[in-house]
């Protein structure tokens, strides 16, 4: 059994890195890679906290407002995955609601991901897609949605748990 506070402290650190600031650091490849890596780690932590029941059901059922951008009919391959604007129809973006486990899996199984910045040079969104979804759509997750989720996970400490044995699973259902 892990103590969740150490994992949750890392989520707070990641939030500090990606939050909007008055004078953002200039873009460097290293900074870009660090932000992309830390967001991926944050989603791994989120999934881990949910699966270990270290957060309440409200986190598992958290509704994330994200955007799917449909594939324009091109097969996504190792050779063209560096050009999402040529593979996906950015103009046909669709707002959707997804749960944290689904989005976490997009990051954990990412076939491609890109962090974008706004006009003020703050982190704006991340485009990510798993190997499973790559020929269907790519997901755009706004940074403020990521911040909201990571802060919610980091500050969620359940006070009670209920275990009910489920004979079909041959394990317990936990709430």
Q: Distance (Å, rounded) from C-alpha 6 to C-alpha 64? A: 24
- CA atoms lying within 13 Å on the CB side of residue 60: 13
pLDDT beyond 80 at 133: yes
Q: Distance (Å, rounded) from C-alpha 159 to C-alpha 55? A: 9
Band of pLDDT at residue 173, cut at 50, 70 and 90 = confident
Backbone torsions φ then ψ of 158, nearest 5 degrees: -60, 145
Dig out the tokens for 99 from the structure: 């749960």
Average per-residue pLDDT in the chain? 94
The answer to whether residues 70 and 175 touch, using CB atoms and an 8 Å cutoff, is no
Band of pLDDT at residue 161, cut at 50, 70 and 90 = confident
pLDDT in tens, 16-72: 999 999 999 888 999 999 999 999 999 999 999 999 999 999 999 999 999 999 999
For 50-136, strand residue ranges (E) read: 64-70, 94-98, 110-117, 123-130
What confidence score (pLDDT) does residue 2 get? 67
The domain locations on the chain are 4-174
Residues 118-123 have a mean pLDDT of: 94
pLDDT beyond 60 at 98: yes
Percent of the chain with pLDDT over 70: 99
Residue 98: CB atoms within 10 A of its CB come to 19
What confidence score (pLDDT) does residue 8 get? 96
What confidence score (pLDDT) does residue 81 get? 86
Residues 70-78 have a mean pLDDT of: 93
């Amino acid at each position: 059994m892990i103590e969740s506070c150490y994992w949750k402290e890392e989520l707070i650190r990641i939030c500090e890195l990606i939050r909007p600031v008055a004078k953002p650091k200039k873009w460097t490849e290293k900074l870009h890679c660090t932000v992309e890596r830390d967001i991926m780690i944050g989603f791994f932590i989120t999934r881990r906290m949910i699966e270990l029941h270290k957060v309440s059901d409200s986190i598992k059922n958290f509704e994330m407002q994200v955007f799917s951008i449909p594939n324009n009919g091109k097969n996504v391959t190792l050779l063209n995955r560096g050009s999402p604007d040529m593979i996906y129809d950015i103009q046909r973006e669709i707002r959707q609601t997804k749960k944290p486990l689904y989005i976490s899996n997009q990051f954990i199984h990412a076939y491609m991901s890109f962090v974008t910045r706004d006009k003020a040079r703050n982190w704006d969104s991340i485009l990510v897609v798993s190997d499973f979804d790559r020929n269907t759509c790519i997901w755009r997750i706004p940074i403020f949605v990521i911040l909201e989720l990571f802060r919610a996970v980091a500050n969620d400490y359940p006070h009670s748990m209920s275990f009910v044995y489920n004979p079909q699973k041959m394990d317990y259902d936990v709430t």
